[in-house]
């Protein structure tokens, strides 16, 4: 789903690299062509060699992936200075030179549905990493740009990733998972998919239909339950969603079921009474995990919703649906940034199997792989 | 509402031009940047935003403002014209026999929109029927059947079939008596080739007079690709935007109409079948630029008046225009106001009340006002027939009795009487206008300074 963003990022990299390259030529110690060639050839093995040859001077080649907890200050002072000991050349990038590529990046991110304030944060970080002070670089100026981009992306998207299955494994049973989100994002379908996924991981589950509002909601989830061969607890339409989930937990307790998957009615975050209903559910049921569900095609508003839902019932992780319908992927970046909680899965189709665990490192690697081709 | 933030931010930026007669490149740059920002935050397609801002810049600098026009008005006019050009007209929906097919992504709100549109057509005196062809999503049949029931319209669906094309064929035949057929389809997206082929087949059988793309107001830049694909497959004649009661701005709809060369038909903003409005470009732009939304307010008022009248055969809103304005009339007016929907929505349409002014009111101002109106209702229930007909005769001891009877403070009762007095005076002013044409009444109020919220002006 991130192909669009990938293409656009590579444009920025080319332009920014050009800027860095131009500046580097003015300042670097003009290594002759031959030397540059041999060093470039040697560069392939550099990542493995680096820690060994320069362990005292901090590892130069593994940026944020290793340290998701690094705070902003640290990351923006960042990797470039850590790379200093390996220097092959020097570069000072002038802010004015970088403005055009950065503006291009700004629009690339906006076009990919990354929310505006998140875009600004990414740009600020890259600007802070690249502009001004003299930078030394090891292989070529290209890595400066790539690393700056990688660092900036990871800092917004890599927020304490955890494995849901591990969580369930180690928690006392039954584990209660409640799903929240606005209307029509695919909460019920996601629950059905997750029930299938958990089954394949060896966990039993029971569904609870906390959507006592929408017409046809009981029929929808009951059909899923039947197809999946799991028990489903429902109440009459108009009932109390908290009571439904509560009943399901009791059922799971009595029947040794591992996981309770609690659906809720879709609600717009502007609906005060429905949001306080959600707060009540959160208070009374006290779920082990609250999963916020949103659709990958959502635009700028994804941030507002995520924030409001997080406030009503603290979100532990997000599942983005309809990832197969979207080539942008910006919603993933915005939502994980604003909730400070990871994307757990992507929904990628209409079949029960279409649920993929999300891996931010792999995603960023993939996004940055484009221009290496 | 669509792009409502543009309204306030644009007003702010344009205000910096106030008093200037010449406009510099820098000024235009600032305005255009603000417009870009607002449009992008509203999810309008990036390319479209660039095109729009380019022509605004160009025209603002090149076109000579007509004599006597301030720089602010000059730019405002250009922005207005460009936006009107972008938004286009409302999709023509003739009130006659027709078949409408709905298409869109999963979860965009097609089934709810089908029921809302059916309700809308039935209010216009036509007989609509909904044909539900979503055989894929569990519970789709039950949902559609119940929504149709709520809208009190004909419905056709086959819960156990898995052939949407056959259902469409059977459904049209089974509901042949209906004037308007609304064919609901399963959600699908542009990249699902088999489902796109399926909707093409349904379209072949249904032969719709118009196909509407149903779009979630929250959709992002992906709107472009989706709209393009649906247009290529079934031909999109108009767009229905849903979930506008959230905070999403619906800019994806502008992208979609631009991409499909179509227009916006309906706006959905709530979970009940009544929460639907026709898209009106005038209203849209006026509201956008902070000039109020007279047309939609008028329609709401008239609809609410009719509903209130339906409840009570003896009462005719036209009577307000002649004779004594009694508490009965005030009670009816309050009911009518209630029928118009949440107060803040209504206020947003009143010239001078929406946008900037609403921003300045405390968040709970509308709740407080609504609370007060509830209090008034209870008080009026505790009054005698004679008191209602002649509120001026109510004295201190009666006020005490009414307050006790209604459980409201005496001050509240006095407030009600004062309010009535003020409204009676206002109504007297309008009585000279002849017929009860609401639009004229509203525009007259606008001339009177724009701040008055109708007969309830004193309440704010």
Same domain, yes or no: B13 and B106: no
Report yes or no on B235 lying in a domain. yes
Give the Cα separation of A196 and A203 in Å (integer): 9
Q: Taking CB atoms and an 8 Å cutoff, what residues of chain A touch B43?
A: 113, 299-301
Same domain, yes or no: B448 and B388: yes
**CA dihedral for B44, A114, A182, B108, sign (positive or negative):** positive
Residue of A116, A301, A325 with shortest CB distance to B246: A301
Q: Does A195 touch chain B (CB under 8 A)?
A: no
pLDDT at B74: 79
Residue of A116, A183, A328 with shortest CB distance to B222: A328
Are A220 and B137 a contacting pair at CB < 8 A?
A: yes
Q: Does A297 touch chain B (CB under 8 A)?
A: yes
Q: Taking CB atoms and an 8 Å cutoff, what residues of chain A touch B247?
A: 269-270, 301, 304-305
> CB neighbours (10 Å) of residue A40?
12
| ipTM of the predicted assembly exceeds 0.90 | no
Q: Tell me the average pLDDT across A237-255.
A: 94
Q: Tell me how many degrees the CA angle B259-B265-B266 measures, rounded to the nearest 5.
A: 120
**Cβ–Cβ < 8 Å for A157, A337:** yes
**Cβ–Cβ < 8 Å for B31, B14:** yes
Q: Nearest-CA distance from B146 to chain A in Å?
A: 6
Average pLDDT value over all residues in chain A: 81
Q: Residues for chain A: how many in total?
A: 373
Residue range(s) of every CATH 3.40.50.300 domain in chain A: 164-357
pLDDT at B431: 58
For residue B385, the enclosing domain spans: 292-459
Average pLDDT value over all residues in chain B: 81
Please report how many Cα atoms fall inside a 13 Å half-sphere around the Cα of residue A330, on the Cβ side: 33
Are A297 and B219 a contacting pair at CB < 8 A?
A: yes
Q: Tell me the average pLDDT across B404-431.
A: 82
Cα separation values, B291 from A187, B126, B245, B353, B356, Å: 40, 33, 21, 9, 10
Task: Record the tokens describing residue A367, joined without a space.
Answer: 């996004």
Give the Cα separation of B303 and A3 in Å (integer): 49
B460, pLDDT greater than 80: no
Backbone angles phi, psi at A260, to 5 degrees: -105, 125
Contacts of B30 (CB under 8 A, 6+ apart): B13, B16
Q: Nearest-CA distance from B2 to chain A in Å?
A: 12
Please name the residue of chain B whose CA is at the shortest distance from the CA of residue A117. B41
pLDDT at A32: 45
Q: Taking CB atoms and an 8 Å cutoff, what residues of chain A touch B46?
A: 107, 110-111
Q: Taking CB atoms and an 8 Å cutoff, what residues of chain B touch A227?
A: 138
Q: Nearest-CA distance from A134 to chain B in Å?
A: 33
Q: Nearest-CA distance from B217 to chain A in Å?
A: 9
DSSP string, A292-327: EEEETTB-TTHHHHHHHHHHHS--SEEEEE-GGG-S
Question: Global pTM?
Answer: 0.73
Same domain, yes or no: B385 and B258: no
Q: What is the CA radius of gyration of chain A?
A: 24
Q: Taking CB atoms and an 8 Å cutoff, what residues of chain A touch B107?
A: 183-186, 295, 322
Q: Tell me the average pLDDT across B384-392.
A: 87
Size of interface A-B (CB pairs under 8 A): 151
- Is B263 annotated to bind a ligand? Reply is no
Strands (E), A214-322: 231-233, 259-264, 289-295, 317-321
Q: Which of B214, B185, B182, B217 shows the shortest CA–CA distance to B202?
A: B185
Backbone angles phi, psi at B132, to 5 degrees: -100, 115
- Here the CATH number for the domain that contains residue B185 is 3.40.50.300
Identify the DSSP state of B352: T
pLDDT at A234: 95
Residue range(s) of every CATH 1.20.120.140 domain in chain A: 3-159
pLDDT at B27: 84
Report yes or no on B344 lying in a domain. yes
Same domain, yes or no: B279 and B307: no
Same domain, yes or no: B144 and B215: yes
Q: What is the dihedral of CA B396, B399, B404, B405, to 10 degrees?
A: 140
Domain boundary among B61, B87, B113: B87
Same domain, yes or no: B417 and B318: yes
- Is B76 annotated to bind a ligand? Reply is no
Q: Nearest-CA distance from A23 to chain B in Å?
A: 30
Q: Tell me the average pLDDT across A254-276.
A: 93
Give the Cα separation of A212 and A263 in Å (integer): 10
Same domain, yes or no: B334 and B410: yes
> Strand pairing of B276-278 and B180-184?
unpaired
A329, pLDDT greater than 70: yes
Q: Which CATH number fits domain A3-159: 1.10.1750.10, 1.20.120.140, 3.40.120.10, 2.40.50.140?
A: 1.20.120.140
For domain A164-357, the question of CATH label 3.40.50.300 is answered with yes
Q: Which of residues 271-290 of A touch B (CB under 8 A)?
A: 271
Q: What is the dihedral of CA B80, B85, B87, B88, to 10 degrees?
A: 130
pLDDT at A56: 41
Give the Cα separation of A115 and A119 in Å (integer): 6
Report yes or no on B92 lying in a domain. no
Give the Cα separation of B136 and B316 in Å (integer): 49
Residue of A216, A298, A324 with shortest CB distance to B219: A298
- Is A238 annotated to bind a ligand? Reply is no
Residue B348 vs residue B165, higher pLDDT = B165
- Here the CATH number for the domain that contains residue B353 is 1.10.260.30
């Amino acid at each position: 789903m991130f192909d669009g963003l990938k293409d656009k990022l590579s444009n920025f990299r080319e332009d920014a690299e050009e800027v860095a390259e131009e500046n580097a030529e003015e300042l670097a110690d003009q290594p002759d062509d031959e030397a540059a060639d041999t060093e470039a050839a040697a560069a392939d093995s550099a990542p493995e060699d680096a820690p060994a040859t320069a362990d005292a001077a901090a590892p130069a080649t593994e940026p944020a992936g290793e340290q998701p907890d690094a705070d902003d200050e640290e990351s923006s002072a960042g990797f470039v200075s850590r790379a200093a000991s390996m220097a092959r050349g020097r570069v000072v990038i002038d802010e004015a030179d970088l403005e055009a590529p950065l503006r291009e990046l700004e629009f690339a991110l906006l076009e990919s549905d990354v929310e505006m304030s998140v875009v600004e944060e990414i740009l600020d970080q890259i600007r802070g990493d690249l502009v001004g002070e003299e930078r030394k670089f090891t292989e070529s100026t290209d890595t400066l740009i790539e690393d700056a981009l990688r660092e900036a992306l990871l800092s917004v998207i890599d927020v304490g990733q955890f494995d849901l299955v591990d969580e369930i494994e180690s928690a006392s049973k039954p584990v209660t998972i409640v799903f929240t989100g606005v209307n029509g994002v695919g909460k019920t379908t996601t629950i059905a998919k997750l029930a299938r996924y958990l089954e394949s991981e060896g966990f039993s589950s029971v569904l609870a239909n906390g959507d006592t509002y929408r017409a046809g909601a009981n029929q929808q989830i009951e059909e899923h339950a039947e197809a999946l061969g799991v028990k489903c607890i429902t109440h009459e339409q108009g009932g109390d969603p908290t009571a439904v989930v509560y009943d399901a937990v009791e059922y799971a307790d009595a029947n040794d079921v591992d996981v309770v998957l609690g659906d809720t009615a879709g609600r717009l975050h502007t609906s005060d009474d429905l949001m306080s209903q959600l707060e009540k559910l959160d208070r009374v049921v006290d779920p082990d995990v609250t999963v916020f569900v949103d659709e990958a095609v959502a635009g700028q508003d994804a941030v507002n919703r995520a924030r409001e839902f997080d406030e009503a019932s603290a979100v532990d992780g997000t599942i983005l649906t309809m990832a197969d319908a979207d080539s942008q992927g910006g919603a993933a970046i915005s939502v994980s940034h604003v909730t400070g909680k990871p994307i757990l899965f992507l929904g990628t189709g209409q079949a029960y199997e279409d649920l993929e665990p999300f891996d931010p490192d792999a995603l960023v690697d993939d996004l940055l792989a484009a221009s290496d081709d | 509402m669509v792009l409502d933030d543009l309204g306030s931010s644009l007003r702010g930026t344009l205000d910096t031009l106030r008093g200037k007669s010449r406009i510099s490149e820098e000024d235009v740059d600032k305005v255009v940047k603000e417009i870009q920002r607002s449009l992008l935050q509203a999810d309008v397609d990036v390319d479209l935003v660039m095109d729009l801002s380019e022509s605004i810049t160009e025209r603002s600098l090149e076109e000579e403002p007509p004599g006597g026009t301030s720089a602010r008005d000059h730019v405002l006019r250009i922005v207005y014209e460009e936006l009107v050009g972008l938004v286009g007209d409302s999709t023509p929906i003739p009130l006659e026999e027709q078949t409408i097919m709905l298409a869109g992504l999963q979860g965009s709100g097609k089934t709810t929109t089908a029921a809302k549109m059916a309700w809308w057509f039935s209010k216009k005196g036509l007989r609509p029927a909904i044909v539900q062809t979503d055989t894929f999503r569990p519970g789709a049949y039950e949902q559609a059947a119940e929504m149709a029931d709520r809208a009190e319209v004909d419905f056709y669906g086959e819960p156990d079939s898995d052939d949407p094309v056959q259902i469409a064929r059977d459904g049209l035949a089974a509901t042949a008596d209906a004037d308007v057929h609304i064919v609901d389809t399963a959600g699908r997206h542009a990249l699902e080739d088999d489902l796109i082929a399926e909707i093409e087949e349904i379209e072949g059988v249904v032969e719709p007079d118009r196909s509407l793309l149903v779009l979630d107001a929250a959709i992002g830049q992906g709107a472009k690709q989706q709209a393009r694909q649906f247009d290529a497959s079934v031909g999109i004649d108009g767009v229905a935007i849903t979930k506008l009661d959230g905070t999403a701005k619906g800019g994806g709809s502008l992208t979609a109409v631009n991409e499909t060369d179509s227009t916006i038909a309906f706006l959905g903003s709530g979970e009940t079948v009544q929460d639907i409005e026709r898209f009106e470009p005038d209203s849209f732009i006026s509201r956008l630029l902070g000039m109020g939304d007279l047309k939609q307010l008028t329609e709401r008022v008239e609809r609410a008046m009719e509903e209130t009248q339906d409840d009570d055969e003896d009462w005719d809103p036209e009577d307000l225009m002649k004779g004594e304005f009694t508490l009965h009339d005030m009670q009816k007016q309050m009911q009518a106001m209630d029928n118009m929907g949440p107060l803040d929505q209504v206020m947003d349409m009143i010239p001078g009340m929406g946008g900037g002014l609403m921003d300045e009111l405390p968040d709970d101002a509308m709740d407080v006002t609504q609370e007060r109106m509830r209090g008034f209702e209870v008080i009026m229930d505790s009054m005698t027939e004679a008191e209602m007909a002649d509120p001026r005769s109510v004295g201190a001891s009666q006020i005490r009795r009414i307050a006790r009877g209604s459980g409201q403070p005496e001050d509240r009762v006095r407030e009600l009487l004062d309010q009535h007095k003020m409204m009676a005076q206002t109504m007297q002013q309008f009585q000279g206008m002849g017929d009860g044409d609401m639009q004229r009444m509203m525009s007259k109020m606008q001339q009177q300074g724009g701040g008055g919220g109708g007969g309830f002006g004193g309440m704010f």
